[in-house]
Structure 1
Amino acid sequence: MRIFENTNYNLVGSRKRGYILSGILILLSIGAILTRGLEVGIDFRGGMEFVVESDEVLEVTQVRAALTSVLETSPEVKTYSDVGAGGQDALLIRTASEGETTEVQLLIIQGISDVFPDSNPRVIKTDIVGPRFAEDLKRGSFYAVLGSLLVIFLYVMLRFEWRFGLGAVAALFHDVLITLGVFSLLQGIMPFSMQIDQAIIAAFLTIVGYSLNDTVVIFDRIREYTNLFKTEPYKTVVNRSVNTTLSRTFVTSGTTLLVVATLFMFGGEFLRGFSFALIIGIIIGTYSSVFVATPVVVELYHRSGLAKKAGRR
């Protein structure tokens, strides 16, 4: 299936527009992260997390006030949908309270029962992460993302050239940063959890791999056409390379988006943040493989003097 048959878009000539758009998105992302921050999951900050189910709808503000009194600390309380056998609403309660898990559970049940006597609250899920373990997870996740970028740079540099490696890493950094910015901007607005936890880190690594796959396909075509059309200007060769891979890029991205969108809609609350990150990452990754990675390669080709050595313009 080819949806972009015999196209001849001047994508390299439009790269400055891509720079402007990417620059705006990056600045918005950095601004959002610095001002709004990121909602960090219990995996990375430590504490206790409980999902509480009940026989009636519980008001979040009333539950928060009641639990603040019994726990002697202000917990985070949110509606948590699509859980339990009956699919009824539940509450997600996060607290940094120290003590025995069973003791904290009893205090939560007591606090909710005092305000809603007929609700029959019950804890159906519990997560506990110690502060030291949370710090280790945070450090390990950072090194995982950083290490993947370094390995990818070395891989692309060895398979192609150093400028291709820089182009690939620039695109991947662009993708992860903008996805983080979207999470920062939309946290508290979207009707599902947008916490940065281990699942989201896994989503980021998946985004890195997916975006790299798109980018390598284009790079491979550029290398092939560079050797095939030796007398043509480099920008013309790159344009032809990108145009001949557009169909493959968009068909692959479109079909993958359909699968991830299905996961987002029907995967339940636990997978919603993960699948949302993938949706954003696939869209941004498809864009960056054409308008970030490839233009960086073109710029470096001319700035490094390779164009003059090869007799190209």
Structure 2
Amino acid sequence: MKFNFPFIKFQTPFLLVSVLAMAASLFMVFTKGFNYGIDFEGGAKLEYQFKQNVSEDDVRRALSDLNLGEMSIVRFGSPEEQRLSIKVKLPEQHADLGQQLTSALEKKFGQGNLMLEREETVGPRVGKELRKKAWLTILFSWVLMLIYIGYRFDFLFAPGAVIALIHDVLI
């Protein structure tokens, strides 16, 4: 059974859907921004396991005296494990940030009721530099793809292939 779908006949609606999807994606990027990890943003990420049931709001209130600014508190793992990840942007003076957070949480929830499982710290300057290098690497890879596709197949195909790749990533 041979079936031919007339793609060219429907190119206008397909193009419209594609443009709308790209516009929606770009709108989200420019309004919400990227959700960079600690490596690219700079900051600290600490993962705790609690022995008792605690809410994210309780943890936020316990840490409010430290004046850390905006922080992200996310529950992860199974509900029985009581594991929370705390992500904060590093202040200028961030010596012993993990110890400060642990002390504040132990003060609120009791000593021995929590355990610091993991701590990652990246300075803001390093995060900014990594983000810049990542964008340059992406641009460099696009140029290399243009060269390879042009050499291997035809130089007329290269821009279309790379633009299609960028389109797919945007959506």
- State whether residues 63 and 111 of structure 1, in contact with CA within 8 Å, keep that contact through their aligned partners in structure 2: no
Report the 3-state secondary structure (helix = DSSP H, G, I; strand = E; otherwise coil) of the residue aligned with 1:77: strand
- For residue 119 of structure 2, what is the aligned residue in structure 1? 126
Q: Which runs of 4+ in 1 moved over 6 A?
A: none
- For residue 110 of structure 1, what is the aligned residue in structure 2? 103
- State whether residues 49 and 116 of structure 2, in contact with CA within 8 Å, keep that contact through their aligned partners in structure 1: yes
Report the 3-state secondary structure (helix = DSSP H, G, I; strand = E; otherwise coil) of the residue aligned with 2:73: strand
1:72 paired residue among 67, 72, 80:
67
1:91 paired residue among 79, 84, 92:
84
1:158 paired residue among 120, 130, 151:
151
Cα displacement (A) at 1:119: 6.6
Partner Cα separation in structure 1 for residue 19 and residue 99 of structure 2: 51
- State whether residues 51 and 82 of structure 2, in contact with CA within 8 Å, keep that contact through their aligned partners in structure 1: no
1:82 and 1:133, CA in 2 relative to 1: closer, same or farther beyond 3 A?
A: farther
**1:129-185 Cα deviation digits (max 9, x unpaired):** 12222122101110121111111112112222233112111111111222xxxxxxx
- For residue 138 of structure 1, what is the aligned residue in structure 2? 131
What code does the residue aligned with 1:46 have?
G
Partner Cα separation in structure 1 for residue 120 and residue 166 of structure 2: 31
Partner Cα separation in structure 1 for residue 138 and residue 13 of structure 2: 29
Partner Cα separation in structure 1 for residue 148 and residue 108 of structure 2: 59
In structure 1, runs of 5+ residues without a counterpart are: 179-313
- For residue 26 of structure 2, what is the aligned residue in structure 1? 30
Partner Cα separation in structure 2 for residue 90 and residue 120 of structure 1: 12
- State whether residues 56 and 119 of structure 1, in contact with CA within 8 Å, keep that contact through their aligned partners in structure 2: no
Higher helix share: 1
1:41 aligns with 2:34: no
In structure 2, runs of 5+ residues without a counterpart are: none
Partner Cα separation in structure 2 for residue 19 and residue 166 of structure 1: 18
What code does the residue aligned with 2:23 have?
L
Map 1:1-313; keep pairs closer than 5 Å: 6-69=2-65, 71-74=66-69, 75-82=71-78, 88-95=81-88, 96-97=90-91, 98-100=93-95, 103-117=96-110, 120-178=113-171
1:155 and 1:124, CA in 2 relative to 1: closer, same or farther beyond 3 A?
A: same
Partner Cα separation in structure 2 for residue 91 and residue 160 of structure 1: 51
State the TM-score, normalizing by the size of structure 2. Answer: 0.87
Cα displacement (A) at 1:20: 0.8
Partner Cα separation in structure 1 for residue 84 and residue 10 of structure 2: 49
- State whether residues 49 and 114 of structure 2, in contact with CA within 8 Å, keep that contact through their aligned partners in structure 1: yes
1:119 and 1:57, CA in 2 relative to 1: closer, same or farther beyond 3 A?
A: farther
What code does the residue aligned with 2:141 have?
S
1:104 and 1:22, CA in 2 relative to 1: closer, same or farther beyond 3 A?
A: same
Partner Cα separation in structure 1 for residue 47 and residue 102 of structure 2: 11
Percent identity of equivalent pairs: 24
Paired residues in the alignment total: 168
What code does the residue aligned with 2:22 have?
I
State the TM-score, normalizing by the size of structure 1. Answer: 0.50
Cα displacement (A) at 1:13: 3.0
